Structure 1
Amino acid sequence: RDLKKALGLPAATSFKHVSPAGAAIAVPLNKEQLKLCMVEDLENELTPISTAYARARGADRMSSFGDFIALSDTCDVTTAKIISREVSDGIIAPAFEPKALEILKKKKNGSYCVLQIDPNYESQNLETRTLFGLTLEQKKNDALIDRKLFSGTNVVATSKPLTEEAVRDLIVATIALKYCVTCANRPLFRLLTTEAVDPRITSAVFKKGVKRAEISNYIDVFVNGSVGKEMDANTWKNAFESAPALLTDSDREEWISKLNGVALSSDAFFPFRDNIDRARQSGSDREEWISKLNGVALSSDAFFPFRDNIDRARQSGVDYIVSPGGSTNDTSIVEACNHHKITLIHTGLRLFHH
């Protein structure tokens, strides 16, 4: 609702564990973005609100796995179609088209959570929480984020005027940040992959049976240059009819050098100028430092859905992993741990409480 109020366009957010994994407004998708958001087959059916959700989900597909969706406008049939083929736990919207509701009712064998909210509802100014008999109160976050926030004397350093697109992106980023739980902020640089990815991967043909979530992983390791590191080279090759040529270091530097107009929002001040230098640069070489890490212990309160989690953990020196287990892909996870000589413990115990 904040996004629509600020920008006047239908908006959607993909929440994971009460923080937004992706937030977007209804800006049309080009051919490349249609493919990256996995809605190219619906190009002629896309509506403003379905476009907003496709963008929100596509911002960070791995973090959006099992999301809860919030829409500013009525959920229509096209939006319901997109949701029906994604792993999602629920949706909240001001209204639902009858046919869209029928589609959503079939999801998760009828257990998909569908909530309707009064779009004019205003919560109380005072928020209250009770923990072990202790009552905590705080004023709700009613910060107004609009174009005025990014203009006038607030602009303290600039070499050129802010474009409309730049202001729009800053508003989306900052409103999303407003709803992040404290300490949930994470680097936003990987979101760049949604906007610009080498055509070698966007035009690649995946083998039949490769799942949508897995495709997101393959694109990610391609862009990050972690094939053969975070992901086994044979696993990579076996996912394609014909595996695309990998990016070289020079390819990646050239690609990143062409990126411009990226908006970055932070919920804390920048203590040193190297934060700004890092945002402007393509990245720092951490491989030598990371390669020296060993004996790291990793504890997770959820199962690991794909083996690339283990491959990545190994790159950070992880030798010991404990998790509840329970994934349909546990066999692959165990195989990955054996491959990396990682000790894996499945406790069967979930500690997370809502």
Structure 2
Amino acid sequence: MAQTTIQRALISVSDKTGLVPFAQALVKRGIEIISTGGTARLLSEAGINVTPISAVTGFPEILDGRVKTLHPRIHSGLLAVRDNESHLAQLKEHGIQAIDLVVVNLYPFAQTIAKQDVTFEEAIENIDIGGPSMVRAAAKNHAYVTVVVDHEDYEEIIRQLDANGGITEQTRRRLAAKAFRHTAAYDALIAEYLSNQVDERTPEKLTITFEKVQDLRYGENPHQQAAFYRQPLAESGIAQAEQLHGKALSYNNINDADAALGLVKEFERPAVVAVKHTNPCGVGIGEDIAQAYQKAYEADPVSIFGGIVAANRPIDEQTARQMAETFLEIVLAPDFTSQALEILTQKKNLRLLKVGRATQINRVPFRYQSVAGGLLVQEDDVQDVSRQEIKVVTERAPSEAEWEQLLFAWKVVKHVKSNAIVLAKDRQTIGIGAGQMNRVGAARIAIEQAGDKAQGAVMASDAFFPMKDTVEEAAKAGITAIIQPGGSIRDEESIQEANKHGIAMVFTGMRHFKH
């Protein structure tokens, strides 16, 4: 392949950003423009000479515009191999002219189905057929045809026409790859929408698409390259957050921020979560967000240093002043008052992320985890149990005060890496044991962290106790109530041990492994 010249362009776009000046620049350089429908009208109104598609095909646009470019005179002009004598002879025989540049982007399917009141019929009508056909034909024949699906590439096309008189092979190949990504993403959205309509939750082929948010400073480590993508139709989450201040995010920053946001969503009352390496290190609930932050900070004032903090209420001046006393990497909140921003933006590297309603609505329905050569897909862990569903298995039932702390700790423990143990007291975590190879080890870590505060606290475990040893450790520390899933063949040993020490224990019947 070599550099190609452009004599004839076909333009048909839904997104008309920058189109008129681009088309004017093409005409100025002697390029003929063929166009369709609304694009042709816009260009004509701007004084640009346009050849209607019907003048090329000899056939009118029909079926309310559903059929206009699906014609041999268009696709032969796109797909002909220019150094194939037989192809050229056939073009000449049928009076078909080659098309050298295709500028097409597709019906706004994603924007259509994102509307709250969209009907199924409206969604179907916004599935583009002719556009993807032209894009794919041009991209296949990129040895001779330049395809543009993004207005960001207009400037480069004009620059190369002026510098080289044509478009380089490298650019055509790059644009062809981009074009196939464009149509692949488009088809993936349609497939996802239609699969959802018939409740195909785990189809035989998983076709998902993500759009790039930004390149990241680095991955888990500085020697690893990384980027951040989001699902086009996701309503809220860390991918939709607006960064108000601070240096660029890294891979670990986003992972930790997502973990913090996932946990703070659990609470209706003012809550603050501090996270380190995707595990919560301090969680607090207060009468207001300042008190909640103070509780989260006091839960583990050592681990919060350099941590990520998420709140489910806007950050006000008082809370901002408290936060400013500690080195934090990120603060996420629905919003920040002007006074809070004035205080926190004095820390030039502190990232401030405005997440809007993301702390109040449901999480994404599925989670994706890559493995070597594959992808694991599961529903997000959003299910919970009510107090009425929880079974008291010991002689003593929890007091009302213990019930409040047990339910609080249960919400937290599901967000801690397994094996997980959480100790709580006064609407505050006081000890967290995360990611241990055995449960009693996680309990000992949590108890050691809590120290004297463990007296009168409650314990939550993400999974059942395979032996009574965790209850023994809880009793030594002064724990008064335990919440756990139950289901071990040795449950009775744990129940008897709890009864022996007057500990109230309840079973949820639901575990919360987190790997």
- What is the TM-score normalised by the length of structure 1? 0.49
Larger radius of gyration: 2
- What is the TM-score normalised by the length of structure 2? 0.35
